[in-house]
A and B are shown apart, each in its own frame.
Chain A
Amino acid sequence: DIQMTQSPSFLSASVGDRVTINCKASQNINRYLNWYQQKLGEAPKLLIYNANSLQTGIPSRFSGSGSGTDFTLTISSLQPEDVATYFCLQHNSWPMYTFGAGTKLELK
């Protein structure tokens, strides 16, 4: 099974900060990685698919990068509405998807 190691598990940042979250795959997954945002009590929302493609309707302050085993989600200027848990998903091995453990993002 492909393991996904996500870091950090918790992040505190101020409005306007640049925020980065990382995921590392245990083996090459090419660009088959998605990023999601989950707010309390809500369904997960797809932000980035295939490592660096922005889902329709998602603000451009969100971006993704990486390929192979190392991936990054960046929020260029943190907004109050970005408080949520973020997690990555590898879909290289359809349908045996695996997820990162999640990063809880809070405002400082």
Chain B
Amino acid sequence: EVQLVESGGGLVQPGRSLKLSCAASGFTFSNYGMHWIRQAPTKGLEWVASISPSGGSTYYRDSVKGRFTISRDNAKSTLYLQMDSLRSEDTATYYCATDFGYPLAYWGQGTLVTVSS
């Protein structure tokens, strides 16, 4: 059974940093692209960042470029999102998702990030 479990969310002040993790199991993690998707309160879903299976290629939406860093540890089957210089508009539930099978076939339950003073 595919499982994705996010952690690391919480309340953080504007300008500070937070690192999210996503522990994967039930598939060969190192073979598939991984993604972070977010959903602000009462808003729609928004793609944030993606990483290739090897970790050699990364992609970001414009609003997080230079502030967020996606990475992965294939030995630990874990995906990360380092979020720096956080803004109030980054407040959202962050989901990790995998391309195992099909694009964004499986998602985690999400972790809530609240950026507020």
Contacts and interface: CB of A to CB of B under 8 A. Distances in A.
Interface of A: 32, 34, 42-46, 49-50, 55, 87, 89, 91, 94-102
Interface string B77-107: 0000000000000000001000000111111
B17 to A, nearest CB: 24
Nearest to B6: A43
Interface of B: 4, 33, 35, 37, 44-47, 50, 59, 61, 95, 102-110
A96 B44 contact: no
A97 B47 CA distance: 6
A32 B104 CA distance: 12
B59 A95 contact: yes
B102 A89 contact: no
CB-based closest 5 A-B pairs: A95-B50, A91-B103, A99-B45, A49-B102, A43-B107
Contacts of B110: 43
A94 B103 contact: yes
11 contacts: A34-B103, A42-B109, A43-B110, A44-B45, A45-B107, A46-B104, A55-B102, A55-B105, A89-B45, A96-B59, A102-B45
A46 B44 contact: no
A100 B44 CA distance: 8
Contact of B104 (A96, A97, A101, A102): A97
